[in-house]
A and B are shown apart, each in its own frame.
Chain A
Amino acid sequence: MSETAAVAVVEPRPEWSRRAAIIGVGETDFAADYRASRAKEPGFVPPTAESLAIRAFERALADAGLQRDDVDGLSVSLIYGGGEPAEIAKVLGLQPRWLARGGGTMSGTIPPAVAALLTGRADTVALIYAAASRAIGRVFGGGTYSSGPTSYYYYHPWGWSSQAAHWAMIFQHYMARFGATEADLGAVATTLRTHAQRNDNAIMRTPLSIEDYLASRYIVKPLHLFDMCLVNDGGICIILQRRDMAEDRAHTPVLVAGWGHSEIHKQKLHYLVRERLRPQFDEAGQQAFAMAGLTRADVEHFQGYDASSMHLLQQLEGYGFAEPGEGLHFFQQGHAGIGGRLPVNTSGGLLSHAYMHGWNHVVEATRQLRHEAGDRQVEGVETSFFSMATTQEADPVIFTRGV
């Protein structure tokens, strides 16, 4: 077994475009598990990262029509604790030639796997992700965090911490700059909820009106409860294979066509609040389009990281799918809906489907490009743009339907 490599940034290479394919996806039962974790009936056993990983892996194997032994590469992303990659390989019954430590979130996890496939280090790679967020009582802000100077947790003495605080500051600035209102922002959460209603495995499927949205409590004003993503336990496995090996599968292969990467190195608050990461999205997006040989006009489906509604809004605008200040109109006019000009987060996103750190976005892109998304299928979709984004980096990946 090789040494465990950490995920590093892999430069986009046009010659690697469309030469690796997603051939299998597996996920846990987010909605049922969420209900069970809240009900805590007698006999309820909270999941562990390992139990979630095993279930997702077995489902992905079945989806791909592969045997365990076919998998010779593994990338492990257990975001909130769990075994070392070598231990997880053992738990999954694998002896991989290529073993990597993923980043936790979807950031930068796919490019190293593609590189491993195309440089002969593996033929079939499983990317494993699991988060036992609820089970470990994860809190997303406050004094539980370390407070290094590059971290936003530096501002503890003023009480400014949490993901919500970021998007709240950004949206307050956005409202002042573009004349938007809280009700306008509600279009994001309500649109994604209508998508979740078409998804059996979405956690939040109750109808959500703008009135419901505005009546919900503030988390950090001007952001309401429904502007923030869910917190749930779950696991996801995505199996990638060299394109030339991926013929005659049960499902249409989904090709990795391009990717990009850009991050903030300085003046984080400036780029976050005043620029809304536009320079980073623009740079990373251009890299991905160049590698894929595509343009923005080719994109028919968008899966963006919606830790918050505001986060998603700034990605749509940042990559240029909507003009600055126009992103909320884009939602209000139905362009982001299924059947719209550019359907966005069609499984319900992190806001209403499940908080799987971008991994469920890739599963949804895969189902859409296979044309297996059922009630929420985007008709005839050939190209999907996935945007992984944090408070300081952008990692888009473009997927295309392998014919």
Chain B
Amino acid sequence: MAERRPNRTLGAPHDEFWAYCDSGELRLQRCGDCSHVSWPPVDACEMCGGSGLSWDAMSGRGRLVSWCTFHQRYYEELETPYDTILVELEEGPLFVSNPSGFSNDAAFFDMPVKVAFADCEDDAGAFRLPVFEPA
């Protein structure tokens, strides 16, 4: 059953990101001028301002930079405690996500992880959420 989640930010250019997730792909915007990968989605490269952006497939591999566990409840959709992680993708961007198949108690600095997709839903309907499992 799909997990209920707080609402995504939708509209251009976000819809494209989520559409790729729905097909099981983690794609982010790479700049044609400076090769920098921006995240979250941008209208122009966050590094050089270039507008020639292409949705490039990421390897899905990364390493844990940090993590934290929510005890204070901020969302009615999410029961506490729950874990969040910060992953440095191989291509550079830092990606806020959730662990899958491990908990923060087992997390360690620089831990290798790889992307997986969890079936979720919000007010806009079903979607697949990129999460990370041990690599």
Contact = CB atoms under 8 A, between A and B. Distances in A.
Given A149-B14, A269-B86, A159 B68 contact: no
Given A149-B40, A157-B120, A162 B72 contact: yes
Nearest to B107: A172
Nearest to A139: B74
A169 B9 contact: no
Interface in A253-300: 265-267, 269-270, 273-274
A147 to B, nearest CB: 4
B94 A273 contact: yes
A156 interface: yes
A220 B72 contact: yes
A139 B68 CA distance: 20
A221 interface: yes
Contact of B68 (A141, A149, A165, A265): A165
A154 to B, nearest CB: 5
B47 A149 contact: no
Interface residues of B, number: 39
A159 B129 CA distance: 12
Interface in B22-74: 40-42, 46-47, 65-72, 74
A221 B129 contact: no
A222 interface: yes
A148 to B, nearest CB: 7
Contacts of A176: 66, 108-109
B129 A158 contact: yes
A164 interface: yes
Given A149-B9, A149-B41, A154-B40, A274 B65 contact: yes
Nearest to B131: A158
B81 interface: yes
B96 interface: yes
A169 B86 contact: yes
Given A154-B9, A273-B94, A161 B66 contact: no
A147 B71 contact: no
Given A142-B74, A149-B42, A157 B66 contact: no
B47 to A, nearest CB: 6
A173 B82 CA distance: 18
Contacts of B72: 141, 162, 164, 218-220
A267 B7 CA distance: 23
Given A149-B14, A159-B74, A270 B94 contact: yes
A160 to B, nearest CB: 5
A173 B14 CA distance: 28
Interface in A163-178: 164-165, 168-170, 172-173, 176-177
A157 B40 contact: no
A224 to B, nearest CB: 9
A35 interface: no
B5 interface: yes
Closest 6 CB pairs of A and B: A142-B74, A168-B68, A176-B109, A156-B6, A173-B66, A221-B69
Given A176-B109, A220-B71, 20 more contacts: A143-B74, A143-B75, A155-B84, A156-B5, A156-B8, A156-B75, A157-B5, A157-B8, A158-B84, A158-B96, A159-B70, A160-B84, A161-B74, A165-B84, A169-B86, A218-B72, A220-B70, A221-B104, A269-B94, A273-B86
26 contacts: A143-B7, A143-B75, A155-B96, A157-B8, A157-B122, A158-B97, A161-B74, A164-B72, A165-B84, A172-B67, A173-B65, A173-B66, A173-B109, A176-B108, A219-B72, A220-B69, A221-B68, A221-B70, A221-B104, A222-B68, A223-B68, A266-B47, A269-B86, A269-B94, A273-B66, A274-B65
